[in-house]
Amino acid sequence: MFLLLVVTAYGCKSKKVVSRTGPAPERTNSEIIRALKSHNHDFEWYACETSITLDTPDEGVSGKSYIRMRKDSIIWASVKKLSIEAVRTLITPSSYAAVNRIEKTYQKGSTEDAFAKMGISLDFMDMQQAIFGNIIIPDTSNISIYKEQDQYVVKATDQDLQLKYWISAYDLNLTKVKMVDYRGREINIDYDDYRTIESGEKVAFYRHYAVPYNDNGDAEIFMKVKEIEINVPKKTRFSISNRYERVY
C-alpha cells in the first residue's frame, strides 16, 4: 500500500498535443535544458482522480485512485474497487498509516522507516514532487547531453543519485526518467499522452513506474489520469476503527 507514494499523475480537461512526424529535428543544449525545467510546476494543493494498476511479485491490483496532497504536509490516497473503498492511506513527513477496509486491518509507523524498507533514497518532499509529476532538476554545470535516435538524453548526478532523462526531439516532451542510487537500486518512469491544460501547461496523462519492491523483483504501477484540481483545498479525513487488527 505504501507504494502509492511513488504514484504520480497530472492533468485536467484539455486538448491532446499532436506529435510531429518526419526526421527528428536537431535541438540545442539550451533547448533541451529549458524543456527539462519547463516540465516542473509549482503547487500548494493537489487532487487527482486516476485509474491505477499495481503489479508486484506478490499480487496484482487494479482500481480507481484518489490522491490529495498539501505541499510539505500531507499525502492522502484512497483506492476503490468496484466503487467500494479498499484502502485509505495518510502520510506525513514523520509518520504514515494505512487501513484495508476489505480485510479490516491497518498498519502504521515511521515514514523514514517505510522509505528505508522500500529501498528508495528519497524523502517525503521528494515523493510529493514525484507524485505531482515534477522531477529533480540537476545543476546545469554537472550534466551531459547527447542524441539517441529521436531522443535527447540528459545525464547528471544529484548527491547520491545518478539521473538520466530522455526528451523527444520532436516536441521536447520528457518521455522517460531513470534514477539509480548508490546501492544500484533503480526507479524508472515512462511518460506518454501529453496534453495541454487550460492554463497552457503540457502534462503527461499516462505514467508507468517500475520501483524497488522486494528481493523477488520490482513493482510496476500503471496510471491513466482522469482529472485533477490544483490549489483547491481538500478534506483529508482519516481514522482507524478500533475493530481493525494491526499488521506489520
The yes-or-no verdict on residue 83 having pLDDT over 60 is: yes
Q: What is the pLDDT of residue 78?
A: 93
Q: Are 180 and 198 in contact (CB under 8 A)?
A: no
- Residue with the bigger pLDDT between 9 and 113: it is 113
User: Residue 11 domain-assigned?
Assistant: yes
Show the cell assigned to 226.
Answer: 482522469
The yes-or-no verdict on residue 142 having pLDDT over 90 is: no
The stretch 85-103 carries a mean pLDDT of 93
Q: Are 210 and 188 in contact (CB under 8 A)?
A: yes
The stretch 222-230 carries a mean pLDDT of 86
The yes-or-no verdict on residue 12 having pLDDT over 50 is: no
Q: Which residues contact 10 (CB under 8 A, 6 or more apart)?
A: 41, 48, 132, 133, 203, 204, 205, 225, 228
The yes-or-no verdict on residue 9 having pLDDT over 60 is: no
Secondary structure (3-state) at 70: strand
User: Residue 122 domain-assigned?
Assistant: yes
Separation CA 136–CA 121 (nearest Å) = 13
User: Residue 154 domain-assigned?
Assistant: yes
Q: Are 75 and 127 in contact (CB under 8 A)?
A: yes
The stretch 182-197 carries a mean pLDDT of 86
User: Residue 101 domain-assigned?
Assistant: yes
The yes-or-no verdict on residue 10 having pLDDT over 70 is: no
The stretch 214-228 carries a mean pLDDT of 84
State how far the alpha carbon of 143 is from the alpha carbons of 15, 126, 170, 176, in Å: 33, 20, 21, 17
User: Residue 246 domain-assigned?
Assistant: no
User: Residue 26 domain-assigned?
Assistant: yes
Each residue of 38-72: pLDDT tens digit? 999 888 998 889 998 988 887 777 889 999 999 99
Q: What is the pLDDT of residue 230?
A: 80
Q: List the beta strands (DSSP E) in the chain.
A: 14-16, 45-55, 60-70, 74-81, 84-91, 95-100, 105-110, 143-148, 151-158, 161-168, 174-180, 186-197, 202-214, 217-230, 245-246
Which residues on adjacent β-strands are paired with residue 76?
68, 90
Domain tally for the chain? 1
Count of residues for the chain?
A: 248
User: Residue 179 domain-assigned?
Assistant: yes
Separation CA 130–CA 10 (nearest Å) = 10
CATH code of the domain in which 157 resides: 2.50.20.10
The yes-or-no verdict on residue 5 having pLDDT over 70 is: no
Q: What is the pLDDT of residue 16?
A: 43
pTM of the model: 0.78
User: Residue 113 domain-assigned?
Assistant: yes
Q: Which domain holds residue 6?
A: 2-230
